[in-house]
Amino acid sequence: MRTQQPALKTPARIPSDALQRVWVALGRVSQGVQCEVETALKEAGFPELSWYTVLWELERAGTPTRPKDLAVPLFILPYQLSRLVDRMEKSGLVKRIACKEDKRGHLLELTAKGLALRKAMWAVYAPAMDEALKRINDSEALELARLLNKLGGIEHVDCSDKA
């Protein structure tokens, strides 16, 4: 299987009790809040969150964008995005337009309908997110975000964006 480390770097450790608690809590809580928000969107007749994030990234970019440039920030695999765009294009939210610089790929363009849907979804998404996270206050939230980002190896994100 995997080649043994040259030195005694990783001795196949068992996570401490504290880490196991984090693991359990992270799984349960993220699934819980995620599910809560997804349910709110579904009940309002909207598509799932992944659609929103594609629309939002395109809107934020402000210009037609290559799938590969979307896939990375969205933590999504190319074939997943390919099929997601298939569906979204079929629904008229997005359009594949030619890319003259690189004929392998194309650019994804947000349609007016896509833009409208993203805004409509935000009207449900935002309150649902607020509701799902209501049990902590702002200072706890900042500390929680800091610890999560440290856990994920994310340095000092300065994101002042939606979602």
- Per residue, the 3-state secondary structure of 80-103, as one string, reads HHHHHHHHHHHCCCEEEEECCCCC
Query: Per CB under 8 A, does 83 bind a copy of itself?
Result: no
User: What distance in Å separates the CA atoms of residue 68 and residue 81, rounded to the nearest whole number?
Assistant: 9
Distances (CA, A) of 63 to 68, 111, 135: 14, 11, 38
Which stretch, 5-13, 77-85, 117-125, 129-137, contacts DNA (CB under 7 A)? Answer: 77-85
User: Which residues, listed in sequence order, are joined to residue 97 by a DSSP beta bridge?
Assistant: 107
Q: Which amino acid is at 124?
A: V
Q: Which amino acid is at 106?
A: H
3-state secondary structure of 65: strand
Query: Per CB under 8 A, does 138 bind a copy of itself?
Result: yes
Query: Per CB under 8 A, does 120 bind a copy of itself?
Result: no
User: Which residues, 95 to 124, sit near DNA by CB under 7 A?
Assistant: 96, 99, 102-106
Q: Which of 5, 25, 48, 78 binds a copy of itself (CB under 8 A)?
A: 25
Q: Which of 39, 42, 43, 97 binds a copy of itself (CB under 8 A)?
A: 43
User: What distance in Å separates the CA atoms of residue 95 and residue 61, rounded to the nearest whole number?
Assistant: 15
Query: Per CB under 8 A, does 150 bind a copy of itself?
Result: yes
Q: Which of 21, 42, 146, 162 binds DNA (CB under 7 A)?
A: 42
Q: Which of 2, 100, 103, 104 binds a copy of itself (CB under 8 A)?
A: 2
The first and second tokens of residue 122, run together, are: 């935000």
> By the criterion CB under 8 A, which residues form the site for a copy of itself?
1-2, 10, 12-34, 43-44, 75, 123, 126-127, 129-131, 133, 135-136, 138-145, 147-154, 157, 159-160, 162-163
